[in-house]
Amino acid sequence: MAVLIIIFDIYAYYKIEILKRFVWAILVLAINIAWAHFWIDFFQEGKRQKEIELKFLEFIRNLVENVKSGTSIPKGILQVADKDYGALSQYIKKLAYQIEWGIPMHNALLIFSEDTDNPVIKRSIAIMIEADQSGGNIADILQSVSSSVINIKKMKEERKSSVSSQIVQGYIVFVIFIIVMLVLQIMLFPKLGGITSELSSSANVLGIKSGSQDKVNLDAIFFALILIQGFFDGLVIGKFSEGSIKHGIIHSLILMTMSALIITTVKGGI
């Protein structure tokens, strides 16, 4: 799809006069479509990880009930493994199979946490293993792990809701920054350039030698400046809202794409 848009973009540049102005904007759009699969995979993985965290909490609760009735952890895992845990089911079934095959419980739990690749589960499993090795009451340990997962989930939701307005403000400030830069490029700098040219012409008429007349490509400089600003603004927004640079990169890509589309559409180029 992206290749077809790029081919059309090239054709429009040479053959369709009315579309020449939007050639760069179409190119930016094509690049975004090219990595659309990455965007889809990223958001699907984020949704899957949230489901895994939620189902892990359900798994721990079921395990606590079995352990409180006098069942050991390995047997408790085998008993609750047949229940439906959505995206987490495959990992719990693998954990149960490993325990059936005689793999030590701590090793099986570590493999389970690595397979899920979820920081909350990794932290919870580490607490469980450490507490079990120290000889604590396993039912109380599992209960505390369950409470810890609930608290972490609440903290994430509270932080996300508390900073959502600031994220919107960050995007608004960036759009204002783009508008100011466009006003400078489209309205102010051309007028200043005209005044400079008039002064240079007057100086030549009077026999005064003016300095170098080499023009600096300010359009490219400002375009690069806006992209750099968008990249770092996105990292700050992601780190502040989600506590992760990984999410910051997504915000960076959104801001950089948005700025490129606005600039190339308004100016008809970079």
How far apart, in whole angstroms, are the C-alpha atoms of residue 102 and residue 245?
Answer: 40
Whether residue 9 is predicted with pLDDT greater than 80 in this model: the reply is no
Whether residue 18 is predicted with pLDDT greater than 90 in this model: the reply is no
Which pLDDT score is estimated for 20?
A: 60
Q: What is the pTM of this model?
A: 0.67
- Among 160, 174, 195, residue whose Cα is nearest residue 263: 174
% residues pLDDT > 90 (the chain) = 14
Which pLDDT score is estimated for 91?
A: 93
Which pLDDT score is estimated for 2?
A: 47
% residues pLDDT > 70 (the chain) = 79
**103-139 pLDDT per residue, tens:** 888 899 999 999 998 888 898 888 888 877 777 677 7
Q: How confident is the model at residue 10 (pLDDT cuts 50, 70, 90)?
A: low
Joined tokens for residue 208: 């005064």
**143-197 pLDDT per residue, tens:** 887 787 778 777 777 777 777 788 888 899 999 999 988 888 888 777 766 555 5
How far apart, in whole angstroms, are the C-alpha atoms of residue 148 and residue 155?
Answer: 10
- The residue that leads in pLDDT, 207 or 82, is 82
**205-221 pLDDT per residue, tens:** 555 544 444 555 677 88
Which pLDDT score is estimated for 186?
A: 82
**37-81 pLDDT per residue, tens:** 777 887 888 888 889 988 988 888 888 888 888 888 888 888 888
